[in-house]
Amino acid sequence: MNQSPRSEKEKKYLIDAIDAFNRKLLIIAPDYTILAANTVAMAGHSESIIGRPCHEIILGCHEPCANCPAKDVLRTGSASLRYDQCYNLDINQDMLCLYSYPVYRNGEVDALVMLDFDLQALKNVEERRIRSNGFLRNLIHSAVDGVIASDPTGKILIFNDAAAQITGYTVEEALNDISIRDVYIGEGAREIMRMLLSPEHGGEGKLISYHIDGKNKNGQVVPISLNASIVYENGKKVATIGFFHDRREEIRIQKELEKTQVQLLQAEKMASMGKMAAGVAHQLNNPLSGIILFTKLVMEDYGLPEDALKDLERVLDDARRAKDIVKELLEFSRQTAHEMKPQNLNEIISRTMFLLENQSIFHNIDIRKKLDEHAPIIYGDAQQLNHVFMNIILNAADALNGTGRLTIQTSVCPENKIVCVEISDTGHGIPEDVIHHIFEPFYTTKEQGKGTGLGLSIVYGIVESHGGHIHAESKSGHGTTFFIEFPVVESENGGIQIG
């Protein structure tokens, strides 16, 4: 700063500059009397204002103003701005926003400078501040991820709409009734804090993409991915802010994908087994026909004794059984359906049931049919579909071993354009380690001579060739349900055809 005395020319420029300043400027003594004023401050006063109390000039009152910034300056020794009360008064607005600062001489406040401010400019700044605060608040509230900030005691300071959706708490409840500890399972909040303070999880004060279990208002677990950081102010921890991403949908899609992968693998396995089975079946068919034919000839033509005929009868029985298996193998290996026509599933199921119901194994079984009469038409081969239901129902009868309940239900999921068939029994169920194998060819848990293990693999192939899906759910000891889905035939105008 220039400490040398000012020249007259310099002083004149300074005075001119203060007069040219287009806001009112007063220099006042600590007793509030006016010591000097610029031209704008003097304008409008017929008499000199020098030596008069500033409050008389500014507000026309006898006492120093209640909200006087000069009072602040005298009390604190530093500059003060008073403008807030101005919003409530519309008189003389120009003078009501005042800025004051001290002029020191020999370490004492010798005088005060009082400046009136452009209230409109200040108001604009304030409005911008309010608007930008509002924008930030809006930004936080409309964020897709949950945003939760808490102070070092755990009190929640910020809680946006997505956080409310994830946790089930309303914003008011979160801000008033709960703490950050309530949105985690167990000691989750403490664990997060410990990791935030360590440098190993994305840097000190930061935690990146951490998977943790959150807890909603009902106490249910909500898996979340969390990005969190500590907020510092002047080197002091003032808050923790977390961005919560709900992982439920992601996990659902992942599971679906895994299921599809398993289904794909299964389909691939079936296709290659199918080709192999077809080859073997063709090779076996001719020799088996030969065995049957020549055994019959020997039995008829040679007048053999009774014992020999009995033995040959056994050869014939076994050869016929082998031929039946070959027939099933060929059925299994057929990859495409033969006669695809619009079909009413309810009718096909009723026909299959009619054939089975009168058989003795079903006499003590409580059969319940719940067929949705609005079930739409599907494309299919009636004989093959009959084979599907027959196989599943016969397996159910085996599992029921004479008593229990068998339920066959059809329903529609119009949005997905799918007809669902559920066939459940209250039989012995399928153990967990068995259920993954039931659609595999030759997989059977039945005693030799009772099961071929081909039934469900044929069912699987037929359902897939109809564009459908099949899966089974079971609880060992409590029964089994097969879920079969077929795509609905769409009519030309895009609607579905009702059966």
426 contacts 479 by C-beta, under 8 angstroms: yes
**Mask: binding to ligand ADP, 340-379, rule CB under 6 A, as x and -?**
----------------------------------------
Residue numbers 480-499 binding ligand ADP by CB under 6 A: 480
Q: How far is the CB of 444 from Mg ion (least distance, A)?
A: 7
8-state DSSP, 496: B
φ, ψ at 125 (rounded to 5°): -60, -45
Instruction: Select the span of 176-184, 197-205, 260-268, 421-429 touching ligand ADP (CB under 6 A).
Output: 421-429
Instruction: Select the span of 129-137, 143-151, 170-178, 453-461 touching ligand ADP (CB under 6 A).
Output: 453-461
Q: How far is the CB of 376 from Mg ion (least distance, A)?
A: 29
Contact flag: residue 404 with ligand ADP (CB under 6 A): no
Phi-psi region of 235 (alpha: psi -120 to 50; beta: other; left: phi over 0): left
Residue 292, SS3 per DSSP: helix
Contact flag: residue 160 with Mg ion (CB under 5 A): no
* CA pair distance 400, 345, nearest whole angstrom: 24
For Mg ion, the closer CB: 150 or 452: 452
Q: Count the residues of the shown chain that bind ligand ADP, applying the rule CB under 6 A.
A: 22
Contact flag: residue 328 with ligand ADP (CB under 6 A): no
Which is nearest to 363 in space by CA: 399, 389, 407, 401?
A: 401
Which is nearest to 411 in space by CA: 479, 486, 495, 464?
A: 486
Q: What is the largest CA-CA distance in the chain?
A: 156
Instruction: Select the span of 21-29, 77-85, 391-399, 490-498 touching ligand ADP (CB under 6 A).
Output: 391-399
For Mg ion, the closer CB: 229 or 452: 452
Contact flag: residue 427 with ligand ADP (CB under 6 A): yes
Strand partners, 240: 150, 230
For ligand ADP, the closer CB: 186 or 431: 431
For Mg ion, the closer CB: 343 or 395: 395
User: Which entry of ligand ADP, Mg ion, none binds 443, CB below 5 to 8 A by partner kind?
Assistant: ligand ADP
Residue numbers 449-468 binding Mg ion by CB under 5 A: 455
* CA pair distance 342, 490, nearest whole angstrom: 11
Q: Strand pairing of 469-475 and 479-487?
A: antiparallel
Residue 38 carries which side chain, given as an amino acid letter? N
Q: How far is the CB of 451 from ligand ADP (least distance, A)?
A: 3
Instruction: Select the span of 50-58, 61-69, 359-367, 439-447 touching ligand ADP (CB under 6 A).
Output: 439-447
| Residues 6+ away with beta carbon under 8 Å from 9 | none
Cβ neighbours, 10 Å, residue 68: 22
Position with the least CB separation from ligand ADP: 455
Interface with ligand ADP (CB under 6 A), residue from 38, 150, 333, 395: 395
* CA pair distance 490, 111, nearest whole angstrom: 92
Instruction: Select the span of 119-127, 375-383, 406-414, 441-449 touching ligand ADP (CB under 6 A).
Output: 441-449
* CA pair distance 263, 27, nearest whole angstrom: 89
Instruction: Select the span of 180-188, 365-373, 447-455, 471-479 touching Mg ion (CB under 5 A).
Output: 447-455
Position with the least CB separation from Mg ion: 455
| Residues 6+ away with beta carbon under 8 Å from 248 | 222, 223
- Tokens 């007069």 sit on residue: 19
Q: How far is the CB of 418 from ligand ADP (least distance, A)?
A: 22
366 contacts 406 by C-beta, under 8 angstroms: yes
Interface with Mg ion (CB under 5 A), residue from 38, 395, 424, 474: 395
For ligand ADP, the closer CB: 205 or 453: 453
Give how far the C-alpha of residue 105 lies from the chain's centroid of Cα atoms, to the nearest Å: 69
Instruction: Compute, in degrees rounded to 10, the torsion defined by CA atoms 331, 336, 342, 346.
Output: 40
Contact flag: residue 456 with ligand ADP (CB under 6 A): yes
In the complex, the residues that contact Mg ion under the rule CB under 5 A are: 395, 455
In the complex, the residues that contact ligand ADP under the rule CB under 6 A are: 391, 395-396, 399, 425, 427-430, 434, 438, 443-446, 451-453, 455-457, 480
